[in-house]
Amino acid sequence: MTHVLLLGGTSEASALARALNQAGIAAVFSYAGATRAPLAQPLPTRCGGFGGVAGLVQFIRAQGITHVVDATHPFAAQMSRHACLACAETGAALLALERAPWQPQPGDCWYEVADMAAAAAALPAAPSRVFLAVGRKQLDAFAVQPQHHYLLRLVDAPGALPLLQASVVLGRGPFSAEDDWALLRQHRIEWVVAKNAGGEATRGKLDAARALGLPVVMVQRPALPARASVQSVAQVLDWLGQGGPGHGPGDAGGPASPPAVASAASATPADPA
C-alpha cells in the first residue's frame, strides 16, 4: 500500500497535503520545525529533524514509507540531500515538487550571486537601507556590513540579532506587490536582498522593487544531487497513480519510476520574506 512522506514547509506542500487528504492517500506531513507555530495540515504531522540520514532511513522503514515527496523550501539543501541518500538506501521512491525559479523581467536591476557571503559583499560601501529578505538563519553573513540599516520580515519574533542596525516586521506570506511597495516606501528602502525561492507567495517584493527602481541582490539556489522533479500537485498525484480512472490509493504499490524531469537543483507554511 502506498504510504507517502511529505517533506513540507512551503505553500506548495500545503496544497499537496490537501490533495492527498482528499484523495484518501495515506501520508505523513513533516515540518523542519523552523517556525514556532506552523500551519495545521489535514494529515498526520510531525515537527523537527530526523537526526540525519540514519534517522530518516529509520523513520522510512519504521513507518513503511513507499514514496517520499520533497516539497521543502528550495534553500533547504541539507534536508533535500538527506532525502536523496535515505531513499537510495531504503528503495523508497523520491520525487521533488519544485517551484520554477524567478527570472529577471524588463525593468529589473538584479545582481545575481552564489551565496550569502557574496550577497553581503555586493552591497554598497555607503550606509544604505536594505530590505534583507533572506530568513532568520542567514543574518550572520551580513554582520560584516554593519553600516547598513536592515529591514527584516520574519514569521516569528527573533531573539538577539547579529546586526547592529535592524528593524523587524512580523508576517507570513503571501504578500502582495502593493503591500510590499508600501513597505519599501515606508522604510525608505534602497536595496533588496532576496533568495531565488520562486513561487507567487513572496514575489511581491520583486515587483515592488521593479516599480520603485530598486536594485536587487538575488542569491541563487544551492546545487543538489540529480533527482526526479515536477512543478505541480497534479503531476505528483499522477506519479502516485492517482491521475486517471481506475487508480485507487493503493495501486501505486511501491517504488516507481516517475514521469518527471531530472533536476540537479532544488526547485513555512507560506514562506517568510
> What's the rounded mean pLDDT across residues 170-194?
94
In a domain? residue 271: no
Alpha-carbon distance values, 73 to 15, 21, 26, 62 (Å): 14, 21, 23, 25
pTM above 0.85, yes or no: no
Q: Position 240: which residue type?
A: L
What's residue 273's pLDDT?
63
Domain residue limits at 17: 4-100+222-265
Is the predicted pLDDT of residue 172 greater than 90, yes or no?
no
Do 176 and 88 fall within a single domain? no
The answer for 122, left when phi > 0, alpha when psi is -120 to 50, beta otherwise, is alpha
> What's the rounded mean pLDDT across residues 230-246?
79
Do 228 and 251 fall within a single domain? yes
Do 56 and 9 fall within a single domain? yes
What's residue 41's pLDDT?
93
Going through the chain in order, the beta strands assigned E by DSSP cover: 4-7, 27-31, 45-47, 67-70, 93-97, 110-113, 129-133, 149-154, 166-170, 191-195, 216-219, 223-230, 261-265
The tally of CA atoms less than 13 A away on the side-chain side of residue 214 is: 26
Is the predicted pLDDT of residue 145 greater than 60, yes or no?
yes
Do 245 and 256 fall within a single domain? yes
Do 213 and 232 fall within a single domain? no
Q: Confidence band (pLDDT; 50, 70, 90) for 242?
A: low
Do 121 and 196 fall within a single domain? yes
How many structural domains comprise the chain? 2
* Residues 92 and 255: beta-carbon distance below 8 Å: yes
CATH number, domain with residue 52: 3.40.50
* Model pLDDT for residues 22-38, shown as the tens digit of each residue: 999 999 999 987 666 67
Average pLDDT over the chain reads 88
Do 202 and 171 fall within a single domain? yes
Which segment, 140-149, 157-166, 167-176, is predicted with the most confidence on average? Answer: 140-149
In a domain? residue 105: no
Distance in angstroms (rounded) separating the CA atoms of residues 53 and 50: 8
* Model pLDDT for residues 183-200, shown as the tens digit of each residue: 999 999 999 999 999 988
Do 214 and 227 fall within a single domain? no
* Model pLDDT for residues 47-89, shown as the tens digit of each residue: 988 999 999 999 999 999 999 999 999 999 999 999 999 999 9
CATH number, domain with residue 143: 3.40.50.720
In a domain? residue 270: no
What's residue 155's pLDDT?
85
In a domain? residue 25: yes
Do 256 and 207 fall within a single domain? no
> What's the rounded mean pLDDT across residues 196-213?
94
Do 11 and 90 fall within a single domain? yes
Q: Confidence band (pLDDT; 50, 70, 90) for 158?
A: confident
Do 62 and 133 fall within a single domain? no
Q: How does DSSP classify residue 141?
A: G
Do 213 and 122 fall within a single domain? yes
What's residue 263's pLDDT?
47
